[in-house]
Structure 1
């Protein structure tokens, strides 16, 4: 046993233990023949740094993997990073720009070389920060989405999908970032509220008989309009369907088409259709028979106007909408529409005319470039997601993959059943370059290598490679199996030869085959993964796509359970964002409170998908929790309590020891259930309550009289002296008593040491650092805590009689303490206690627990009847306990004080009830104000009830 320092210092402990675990390979201990258990982390961007969402996501994962490891499984947490095409290219380009260089100053290969240099020098920040959090990942097998083995998997998947007609090139609308010059995913689009305008335009009918009115927030796009849509049942326009209008400015004729997209209740009921620059209009255009190849595109890659049909020359080359420019297309178009009489003025409330009505407009911006995103018609590579989604839908329907919380299933099904083609190409240099080559006639050859493409095209053909790269979500969709060595079985990591032999024997329905085996385990028993932890915000971008690709290529789901957690929000419930300045740095919290406290906060607050409100006070509270455990361990050391040598509980005769053993078993059972059901908050609160309340506040207090008997006996009469006079009858009796007390002390030390060990094991997944430190300091061990054995939930250890006896004692002490506090009894005052009408069982308990009751409640048992006069009265079960107050308390003054306090509490309670019963307040007040009023009302009601009970106790 090594003495613990007086002060708990998490920073020193964390800095020492993590490198030790990693260097000794304890995150992936050799466990031949053990059941494989696998978890893959959502790969963070290689450019990233730890944010509070990462802290939540990775804490939950670490709890599960540490728990599985303690349960004896061959648990591996697959770790890696994503190459983050856009983000990484931007980082390197900024570095070049700082030197007066730009990407195009270099060849593609030269630039990619510079990216790899950056990755080697600076790309490990996020992984270093994950170590600070205590993540027990298998760093020896760290993966990267651009490493050689993973790239091989990406190319194979692309080629196979193409050959199966599930991947193709098509002209469609994409989210186009003019700043970056590439298509981006929906996740990379940030919608902001922008002050804009709502314009109403008149389009003249071709025959000159009148106008049809349309409205838009983007008047410049009328240059590429291809139709006007009206609802087929709108009586105002039925006669116009099939006729044409002449576009102002360009003079082009466009048809009036019938489509249910037009809502008769909105505006004029007629809608301008620009299929090349609006996602809804694109679909309307297709329904109207306009082929994507024939749709007009009026913008170039920088969102500048290009010629697409009779556009005036002075508009060509202007930015579509840039108020900061000297001139832009929007201003010129509005001016010409107004000049030609095609702009319907907006009249404000004062009767003043304006060109347009002011509106707040939801506008898409690139989350990295910060520029307005354009729906842009362009040729891209697409995956037939609708076909791949069908097995993924069935997998959740059939229960092959369970989504937790189940409420997310509806969202999953809705999105998968309405899924659109998946655009997987990006106009970047950094990433997996698309394995497609074109000949001079534009014919495409898709192959894993240029040599294979050349062989297919013929020796004389000149080929050029597609310059685009793949969306990073395409490569990360392969994460659950490509990280495990697929498609090369020889590179499959994580499985010892013993495991391979066992799995090959199909003892548990497992198989190492890369082919389907009718639902068996593959890749060394690690596919499917056991669970995936993910934020709900990437359910579609990552989780669903892993389902599609895993089922298609492995013929089995990628994970058995998908757990979706919520977001970490600011203290006021607002979403965190850098622009709002309300983000929280998890590393700063670790510096201040320790990683264990932050981890415990995340677990305790994670309630199956509900968002978490940041609360630094709670984190501080969990730091205090760690300190309390530290001090409890120091108390144990000072009383000769150390490491236990056994997994099973020691034999116990004392009720308090039988009780705490049963409490441990009940806690293990509750923890096992909570973790199996992924109820992280329940699991955390279960172990918290046991450690804080049952062990520290009660058990250690209850055993102090037992532990003190040894010291008292030794001080009064050393055992050696007693044993020197064996003929002395009194000496023999004293010796027997001393030996009995020693036996009780030894038993208590053994039980207390065993309980503390069980606490350290149960708490380890949540607070790995402090538990490992205490484990190492409490005595000699033959293994570290991280690879210890999880406690056994053996119901045979539960003793109902002991539980009832100690529960009775705790209730009695608690009631006496509460009453003393309510009646202002001085803390040091000792009171006599009389038991009125006790049963035989209560009388026996009073005899057995007298010393503890005297110590904890500061009372002295008295015989006979209680004297008359003012007394504090407490009822526990059938007995009434009377504590005469004598001169300790001025009874009349105390009654007056309580009566006044009750009246004040009742007045506030009733006032709050009146507010809450007022519908106007509940409906109009801010939700947080209503919630506070409810909390205050409950507090005052409880206070009035508590004070009333105190007054009644005075008799």
Structure 2
């Protein structure tokens, strides 16, 4: 950098700077990956947000974490690819379109599949890019040229290939099984899309009479309406109470159907009456008993949650309306024994937000056990992938062990249509459970297969269902890189390096990706899975739409800037996997924690302005690798200290990021930049910058430039926009050079001096103590004081003597005396006319005679103390009154307690100051 060093504007404008750099990074393909470039690959594929979504705090948190990792490894010189994309979100898009049709008094069947899908793609083009535009506001260093969508041509080809391979290997099959049915979306949902909620319900007890009239058995249920589909009652074969009943029949109330009493080990004889009603078509456990005992499977439910013709007089009633009516009818006919309050778990559809209904349905399934076992082998034999924190490894393993076959068909139209064609003319034009079918890549191939298989030219109809969205998402780490084609990207960047995701998606997504990847590529799709926590609100509650306590990140970005929000979210992470808490005032859209980060960026901006304004003329070679430090002999005490601290922090930051301690790294940088560099080093060297000693001034300038540029590099992954802005001004770099592509700082061990840093802690502590004593004594800033430093340690005396110029300058000391406590020549100071403090083993004494009016100060403190003590007494009496505590609103009582605590603290401080006087 030459003499014409431009300065920064007086104030930092995040909106302007962030928009500028986001546009320049993308326009100049700064983050475009090239598989032919050198460097060890580092690849992350973005966890694809739903195309229907908008940016929420969870996205902001997760993507900020990822961007720190990606920018850091790029600056380390790795061949870095962060690949973006979105998920087609079958259920969410279908819900939007179906609502639009409902407003027109139509259903999807009324417009037809082709027109419906045209609407879906139109919606995607018009509104589906919202989330992508919002992600750009976060300044993510992704390669937008590689953006993918789970319904794009390449990913659709990958889905087709995966389905056919699994089908040919007999790992995909079609069968009639009990599935989780969502009446709201009228589609099957997987076990992973079911959220168990604890509810306050009831347990109904009914009598089922023996057909021979010799008595009855009593059963209990939480779903009375399902009794209409009962085909047996089961007891434990070892239950002496019912051994004589096994083999007899009961007459099912309201229905009149005779059903057997069976014996099955599944029944818990200690629960309820020990008799269990068996409804094979509407309960997973009953389904298994039904298969074991060859029971009829009677479905009483329509797909919209109403009862069908098998429900008799209750046909057409909604399931919850039918529940009340069935109970009323059983009561009227004398079969109801009692109703108990009962807290139990009810499975809800994650998308439909209604209780799911176990429903007997013909669906497509993946045989999961072979794939899960292969994935377990990777985990147990190769410890792949590695989970951070490690405690999630057991959760992941346990999940793989317990997985059941995966229902992959969804009764929707938006998505990947199942590549199966049915010979409908064999079944009268209707797709039935036993309709013959072929699986093929397209209709022409299906036609060839059908002719070969059925021996005639048959009429074919493609299966109307689509695949579960998680099927395509399970292929994401390798399909986005070109699989099944052997592309350069796949060869270079797969397996990917790290997956960053929340713990709540281990089962939805992580396990499916590892199973699919293990099967199709023979490798785990990522080396490491970094599990982050949740974003919690000011009351420590999880942010969610259902709780209505979410915060729109764009509100905070518009108010404080992207960098401030990113830095807040990262800095608040206490450790890997830990939740973070975000303070927020919903009335004013203000956040104290984000404001603190904005203040930090302003502090950096102002410090950078100071450095630039004090460089003057000179050849600094900033950013070109030529900004070398002066010789060690020309470095003064403060210079050597800040350089030691810089290289210590450099290594600490690298170690923290390497071990996924991103919050720890952010905190360390905050303390170093704000404290060591801005508050101490810059203040310590101001006299040298303003002095006449040219060599000393030039040394300071070189050190300032070196450390400032290093700070910008260290901080860049966390706050990319402001650091890029300052760096370009500092270096006068052209459009072909970016801070984002500069090498990350490395530690220079030769410049680290631990002993010097410890010595400086004593100097800083001494300065801080003198400043605090001045404040307590209310000494005006312009007034210089006399200070006496007393210590028993010769070493401490040497340190204080070496740094006395710094103490005098920063603590406004005119006369400084440094002595040992037992030195007979020490200054004789009247203790009643001085104020004292201690730092380490050093006693700091400031004589006050002639500096402040001690009597006036004592009188003022006594007056303030009397007032505060009166306030404490009044508040204590109020809070000691049960009438106030029990009757006043909770927030008023809590406010009074907080005010009392603050008043007591103020009184304690005043007493301490009075004692020192």
TM range, normalised to the smaller chain?
Answer: 0.7 to 0.9
Report the more deviating stretch, 118-127 or 532-541.
Answer: 118-127
Q: Aligned partners of 1:839, 1:579: CA distance in 2, in Å?
A: 63
Residue in structure 2 matched with residue 546 of structure 1 by the alignment = 513
Residue in structure 2 matched with residue 297 of structure 1 by the alignment = 299
Pairing 1:760–2:712 present = yes
Report the more deviating stretch, 270-279 or 124-133.
Answer: 270-279
Q: Aligned partners of 1:902, 1:530: CA distance in 2, in Å?
A: 65
TM-score, reference length from structure 2:
0.87
The answer to whether the 8 Å contact 1:819/1:950 transfers is no
Q: Aligned partners of 2:317, 2:793: CA distance in 1, in Å?
A: 96
Residue in structure 2 matched with residue 633 of structure 1 by the alignment = 608
Pairing 1:772–2:724 present = yes
Pairing 1:624–2:599 present = yes
Q: Aligned partners of 1:447, 1:585: CA distance in 2, in Å?
A: 45
- For residue 464 of structure 1, report the CA deviation from its aligned partner: 2.3
Deviations for 1:818-868, whole angstroms, at most 9, x for unmatched residues? Answer: 333344444443221234457665555445433321221121234563233
Report the more deviating stretch, 645-654 or 80-89.
Answer: 645-654
Residue in structure 2 matched with residue 849 of structure 1 by the alignment = 803
Deviations for 1:267-322, whole angstroms, at most 9, x for unmatched residues? Answer: 32322222211233333434x4347xx422111212222234xx43x323333224
Task: Work out which of the residue numbers 640, 650, 654 in structure 1 matches 2:629.
Answer: 650
Deviations for 1:43-87, whole angstroms, at most 9, x for unmatched residues? Answer: 111111111111111111111111111111111101111111111
Deviations for 1:78-127, whole angstroms, at most 9, x for unmatched residues? Answer: 11111111111222333344455542233322322222222222211110
SS in 2 for 1:305: coil
Q: Aligned partners of 1:647, 1:246: CA distance in 2, in Å?
A: 94
- The 5 A counterparts of 1:800-815 are 800-815=754-769
- For residue 797 of structure 1, report the CA deviation from its aligned partner: 1.8
1:341–1:816 Cα change, 3 Å? same
Deviations for 1:367-395, whole angstroms, at most 9, x for unmatched residues? Answer: 54454421111011111112211122232
Report the more deviating stretch, 891-900 or 793-802.
Answer: 891-900
Residue in structure 1 matched with residue 846 of structure 2 by the alignment = 883
- For residue 940 of structure 1, report the CA deviation from its aligned partner: 8.0
Residue in structure 1 matched with residue 885 of structure 2 by the alignment = none
Q: Aligned partners of 1:619, 1:371: CA distance in 2, in Å?
A: 37
The answer to whether the 8 Å contact 1:175/1:185 transfers is yes
Q: Aligned partners of 1:934, 1:280: CA distance in 2, in Å?
A: 54
1:283–1:584 Cα change, 3 Å? farther
Task: Work out which of the residue numbers 602, 608, 612 in structure 1 matches 2:576.
Answer: 608
TM-score, reference length from structure 1:
0.83
SS in 1 for 2:731: coil
Residue in structure 1 matched with residue 688 of structure 2 by the alignment = 706
Q: Aligned partners of 1:166, 1:898: CA distance in 2, in Å?
A: 84
1:604–1:936 Cα change, 3 Å? farther
The answer to whether the 8 Å contact 1:902/1:948 transfers is no
Report the more deviating stretch, 641-650 or 213-222.
Answer: 641-650
The answer to whether the 8 Å contact 2:475/2:513 transfers is yes
Aligned length: 855
The answer to whether the 8 Å contact 2:770/2:844 transfers is no
Residue in structure 2 matched with residue 512 of structure 1 by the alignment = none
Task: Work out which of the residue numbers 872, 880, 899 in structure 1 matches 2:835.
Answer: 872
Task: Work out which of the residue numbers 525, 530, 534 in structure 2 matches 1:558.
Answer: 525
1:192–1:846 Cα change, 3 Å? closer
The answer to whether the 8 Å contact 1:874/1:953 transfers is no
1:577–1:843 Cα change, 3 Å? closer
SS in 2 for 1:524: helix
Residue in structure 2 matched with residue 464 of structure 1 by the alignment = 461
Task: Work out which of the residue numbers 513, 524, 527 in structure 1 matches 2:494.
Answer: 527
SS in 1 for 2:774: helix
The answer to whether the 8 Å contact 1:867/1:884 transfers is no
Pairing 1:396–2:389 present = no
SS in 1 for 2:787: strand
Q: Aligned partners of 1:27, 1:935: CA distance in 2, in Å?
A: 52
Deviations for 1:635-654, whole angstroms, at most 9, x for unmatched residues? Answer: 21222278454377613411
Pairing 1:228–2:228 present = no
- The 5 A counterparts of 1:197-596 are 197-259=202-264, 261-286=266-291, 288-290=292-294, 294-308=296-310, 311-312=311-312, 314-322=313-321, 329-344=322-337, 346=338, 356-357=339-340, 362-397=345-380, 398-439=382-423, 440=426, 442-458=435-451, 460-462=456-458, 463-490=460-487, 492-493=488-489, 523-596=490-563
Task: Work out which of the residue numbers 16, 36, 39 in structure 2 matches 1:12.
Answer: 16
1:2–1:270 Cα change, 3 Å? farther
Residue in structure 2 matched with residue 735 of structure 1 by the alignment = none
Deviations for 1:707-734, whole angstroms, at most 9, x for unmatched residues? Answer: 121xxx3xxxxxxxxxxxxxxxxxxxxx
Task: Work out which of the residue numbers 131, 135, 152 in structure 2 matches 1:130.
Answer: 135
- Structure 2, unpaired ranges of 5+: 428-434, 584-590, 818-824, 880-889
- For residue 422 of structure 1, report the CA deviation from its aligned partner: 0.6
Q: Aligned partners of 2:357, 2:178: CA distance in 1, in Å?
A: 9
- For residue 894 of structure 1, report the CA deviation from its aligned partner: 6.8
Report the more deviating stretch, 78-87 or 887-896.
Answer: 887-896
Q: Aligned partners of 1:934, 1:667: CA distance in 2, in Å?
A: 38
Q: Aligned partners of 2:293, 2:503: CA distance in 1, in Å?
A: 38
The answer to whether the 8 Å contact 1:649/1:754 transfers is yes
- The 5 A counterparts of 1:785-934 are 785-836=739-790, 842=796, 845-862=799-816, 865-869=826-830, 870-876=833-839, 879-889=842-852
Q: Aligned partners of 1:300, 1:569: CA distance in 2, in Å?
A: 40
Deviations for 1:889-914, whole angstroms, at most 9, x for unmatched residues? Answer: 45578789599979999x99xx99xx
Residue in structure 2 matched with residue 172 of structure 1 by the alignment = 177
- For residue 360 of structure 1, report the CA deviation from its aligned partner: 6.0
Pairing 1:32–2:37 present = yes
- For residue 29 of structure 1, report the CA deviation from its aligned partner: 5.5
